[in-house]
Amino acid sequence: MAPPAPRGPLSAALLRLLMRRRLATLDHVDAAATGLLARTADALTDADLQLSLFLLYELHYGGIEEVPDSWEWEPKLLAARQSLERAFELALRNAVPHSEPDHDVPSALADLIARAEPPRLGAFIEHDATVDQVREVLACRSISALHEADAHSWTIPRLHGAAKSALVEIQSERYGGGQPGRMHATTFARCLRGAGLDDRYGAYADHVPTAVYTSANVMSLFGLQRRLRGASVGHLAAYESTWSLPVGACANGMRRLGLGDDVIAYFDEHARADAGLEHLATHDLAGALAEEEPDLAADILFGAAACLFIDGRLWSGVLSRFRAGDPALLQPLD
């Protein structure tokens, strides 16, 4: 992705370091990180922290323009990432209620999802949203949807047996089942173009609210660390429930607004696929992992609760802005 604009002194120092390719300037990043961690009131909503963490994670995905690929494993950058991750994970565990399951994990997941208050954005899109508001939602979703499956794929080599098989089956669907044109990221890129938006990854990095980065960073935090494999599985199980952004309702809203076939097709395809993936994720994946590694049951529920909390807050925030007559983005799309 192209480097975005900074959102504070830490991301500014980090971007200067990455663009200049001079690790000698890492001391400035360390100092900025220390200052940020000392003053931040909430690591989950701190724009500077979340963008900085996102940039460091991005080195493990498609990379950032002009940054050497070898810097993915640069020890000094990994150390900087670790300090941010500690604060992020601690804030997440403090904010998200979670506990040991008192019955089987699939049932506990179903109860957790049923108890959570959905953000209602899907119903708003279905009945009330304008075309401009839909385009803002798509721009927000673009940060994660253009590599939608990748964060959870890190978990595949960390599983065994039935759980591993189930995760591969889920990811195969998300990657198009061997057909590149059916990959979810590819169909979402067509959706963006159909809505008159830019389909380049990171095109709206400067537009989206901080909550978009927090949502993406939760998936990377869980996926990139083997000790959090249970949380990654739980996150995927909740994500596939389509709880926070019901795709069927969104598809109906796109039809109501007369948007093109490429826009509607993405949500229709998701609605079709998710009907099967939800059971597969909660029972064959999460349930199997809990049976194979019972000590991970609490982490599975933590990951699911984190998804519901963070994504719920993201889309509820977008809906609140719309209902107040305000845009959800930090700057206009056009």
Query: Band of the pLDDT at 65, cuts 50, 70, 90?
Result: very high
Closest C-alpha to 240, from 316, 305, 170: 170
* Percent of residues, the chain, with pLDDT higher than 90: 72
Average pLDDT, the chain: 92
Query: Band of the pLDDT at 246, cuts 50, 70, 90?
Result: confident
Residue boundaries of the structural domains of the chain: 9-95, 105-323
Query: Looking at the predicted structure, is the pLDDT value of residue 24 above 70?
Result: no
Contact of 329 with 209, CB cutoff 8 Å: yes
- What architecture is domain 105-323? Up-down Bundle (1.20)
pLDDT at residue 204 in the model: 97
Query: Looking at the predicted structure, is the pLDDT value of residue 216 above 80?
Result: yes
pTM of the model: 0.94
Contact of 109 with 298, CB cutoff 8 Å: no
pLDDT at residue 125 in the model: 95
Query: Band of the pLDDT at 261, cuts 50, 70, 90?
Result: very high
Closest C-alpha to 272, from 177, 173, 186: 173
Query: Looking at the predicted structure, is the pLDDT value of residue 27 above 90?
Result: no
Q: Which comes out higher in pLDDT, residue 171 or 242? A: 171
pLDDT at residue 243 in the model: 63
Contact of 134 with 326, CB cutoff 8 Å: no
- Kindly write down the DSSP assignment for every residue of 58-115, as one continuous string: HTTTT--TTS-GGGGG-HHHHHHHHHHHHHHHHHHHHHS-----SS-HHHHHHHHHHH
Angstrom distance (rounded) from CA 263 to CA 195: 7
Contact of 190 with 265, CB cutoff 8 Å: yes
Angstrom distance (rounded) from CA 256 to CA 259: 8
Q: By CB neighbour count within 10 A (0-12 exposed, 13-18 middle, 19+ buried), where does 55 fall?
A: buried
pLDDT at residue 234 in the model: 97
Sequence-distant (6+) residues with CB within 8 A of 313 are: 211
Q: Which comes out higher in pLDDT, residue 140 or 32? A: 140
Query: Band of the pLDDT at 244, cuts 50, 70, 90?
Result: low
What does the pLDDT average to over 139-164?
94
pLDDT at residue 34 in the model: 83
Angstrom distance (rounded) from CA 189 to CA 59: 21
pLDDT at residue 20 in the model: 78
Angstrom distance (rounded) from CA 229 to CA 219: 11
The per-residue pLDDT for range 293-325, each reduced to its tens digit, is 999 999 999 999 999 999 999 999 999 999 999
Angstrom distance (rounded) from CA 200 to CA 210: 19
Angstrom distance (rounded) from CA 13 to CA 6: 9
Query: Band of the pLDDT at 242, cuts 50, 70, 90?
Result: low
Angstrom distance (rounded) from CA 237 to CA 233: 6
